[in-house]
Structure 1
């Protein structure tokens, strides 16, 4: 018996998905991040029961942190994106978390900057609050050791490729790290939206992209670039097609990041069938029904889709680009921003 629903909800289903891939289908993947971080903070005395934890979120992390705070008797305040829908708002309210949303914006950079600025304002007003810093603190890697252990048990031995949205780097980066520490041969493939600066695609916009959680318009300091072997950039249209294709092929109803990861996984497997491929479905598809799944009639057949193979960020273009990481010339600069690997 689980002591709290958060412990039960975090467990992913390990699902075989044709052709020959494995999906880790989460209801709320970031529960691993939030629970692991909160436990560590409590155990090390950095926070105490009754304290208020604060962070910014586009949706998934807000739910995860609220559940973790509920589990451990903490207060939770979220500065949310406009992508936080009514269903989540009501859950947060009942769980005792407070939510404030920044003003509506179609610009991802403006949305994220507004949220971070508001968090910093709150900390000045309430210096006793604890900022979780999900974008910057490597503490969020800790909880994913359990996911790596699960993969080690459920997925047959042999070479493994993990595919998933980069986001803060804590999920894909941590899972690959712990699997490698256990001696597994692991390649890590990161998925990004166009417009994300994390791997230098800030110059290629995608106004329709609504999966802000897998990319960033501002630097995320806990992304370890050196962990990744390949990167895929997928636009909204192709991510939607991937999500619809995933549902049709397997019955897995997941978010847009899962659709993009499924698309990337199919391509990687077509290039090397000697490995087992595991891709992450970080959330369910419910909040994407109107914005994505309702357009299923216009989804592309996945067998007809091919990425642009590029050698540098200056070659990136819609609807789908991919390249080895690091780039062949070793250059990791875009617009003056250094993208070199960095330790956490």
Structure 2
């Protein structure tokens, strides 16, 4: 029976599970979880928790920085729960998204254009600091640092468990803030499942030690940063892949061409990584995340589809030291190592959904 939702945020968050051919038998096919905007899970769970614990109240203003996906998610969550929303966005927040955010009641400002990952992130965080000084009652959501963003992803773990009811699983996706791939894997492991977690990062991201590298093309927004993401639990990850724009674009084009899935650059990177991991370990069911649609990458990536490399021509450089990282694609066994710093907070307990 079709469920009637009380708000678009509840309806839009659920992904479409899609079988993606791996080149082997049907039993070896990959599963793509294709979201319209994955971080709605994160934003809804976080805002609910803040309201439940009295840290914020209806009518308060929530503020955060975003390259696009989280901006939409937070605006929808604020609309759902009667909150005000202020977004400090990067230039990847295009006109289509900005108009939606404004109509939803969010105020939006964008930092100056930059192709430098570090400069883009630092400008946004600096601007948030200025706004908070002038508006001390605003609550900074800190999607990059606050562990409450893990909470909403228990439902995604439940979905993966239903799609793959038994046997070992490999989950592949962008590390991002850590509150997506890390959270889903942690909740699955809580259930006793055998889960290999494979994270995907862009070159230039400091989260897993690639800050000394650079992508000659553009940054892949949303899956890595030049600033430390304190809610990433490094010890959850078994393998890491660092993938360039060119390779992510090529894989995203192939995903659309072969499976009809129109998804963003992080999905292309996850698809490429999942295929490689599947070829290395065929005993696991491989699930990869497509966190958003490809709409905002039409001009920067998909319009260049004639330049896409054949999938068979792309292979990772297997490394055993971060000093060996090299564009366009490096892969490494992380083996659930900690980052060498103390955790800021423990993995949060789930709160009741409303």
TM-score w.r.t. length of structure 2: 0.93
The residue correspondences of 1:1-344 to structure 2 (distance < 5 A) are 1-19=4-22, 20-326=29-335, 339-340=340-341, 342=343, 344=345
- Structure 1 residue ranges without an equivalent (≥5): 333-337
Q: Does the 8 Å contact 2:202/2:219 carry over to 1?
A: no
Runs (4+) off by over 4 Å:
338-341
Separation (CA, whole Å) in 2 of partners of 1:265 and 1:204: 23
> 2-side partners of 1:139 and 1:251: how far apart?
34
**2:216 & 2:12 partners in 1: Cα distance?**
32
Distance 2:215 2:171 in 1: 25
Partners of 1:271 and 1:289 in 2: CA distance:
32
Within 1, Cα distance between the matches of 2:218 and 2:178? 19
1:62-100 Cα distance to aligned partner (Å, 9 max, x none): 000000000011000001111110101100111110001
Q: Distance in 1 between matches of 2:38 and 2:69?
A: 8
Query: SS at the partner of 2:247?
Result: helix
Q: Distance in 1 between matches of 2:280 and 2:97?
A: 40
Tell me, which stretches of 5 or more residues in structure 2 are unaligned? 23-28, 346-354
Q: For the residues of structure 2 that align with 1:127 and 1:256, how far apart are their CA atoms?
A: 36
1:335 matched residue in structure 2: none
RMSD: 1.3
Is the partner of 1:317 in helix, strand or coil? coil
> Offset of 1:211 from its aligned partner?
1.6
SS of 1:280's partner is: strand
The whole-number CA distance in structure 2 between the counterparts of 1:207 and 1:138 is 33
What is the deviation of 1:106?
1.7
SS in structure 2 at match of 1:170:
coil
Residue 315 of structure 1, CA deviation: 0.4
The secondary structure found in structure 1 opposite 2:241 is strand
Residue 340 of structure 1, CA deviation: 4.9
Deviation at 1:210, TM superposition (A): 3.1
* CA drift at 1:326: 4.5
Is this contact kept in 1: 2:318–2:331, CA < 8 A? yes
Do 2:67 and 2:92's aligned partners in 1 also have CA atoms closer than 8 Å?
Answer: yes
Q: Distance in 2 between matches of 1:223 and 1:236?
A: 22
Residues in 2 aligned to 1:341 and 1:249: alpha-carbon distance in whole angstroms: 44
> Alignment partner of 1:87: what SS?
helix
Which secondary structure does the structure 2 equivalent of 1:212 belong to?
coil
Q: CA deviation at 1:343?
A: 6.1
Alpha-carbon separation, structure 2, partners of 1:189 and 1:340: 21
Paired with 1:275 and 1:231, the residues of 2 have a C-alpha distance of 17
Q: Deviations over 1:225-277 (max 9, x none)?
A: 00000000000000001101111121110000000000000000000100000
- Cα displacement (A) at 1:317: 0.6
- Change in Cα spacing, 1:341 to 1:319, as seen in structure 2 (3 Å) is farther
Q: What's the secondary structure of 2:119's corresponding residue?
A: helix
User: How many angstroms apart in 2 are the aligned matches of 1:321 and 1:132?
Assistant: 32
- For the Cα contact (< 8 Å) 2:250–2:308, is it kept in 1? yes
Q: Secondary structure at the match of 1:173?
A: helix
Secondary structure class of the residue paired with 1:15 = strand
Partner-residue secondary structure (3-state), 1:45: coil
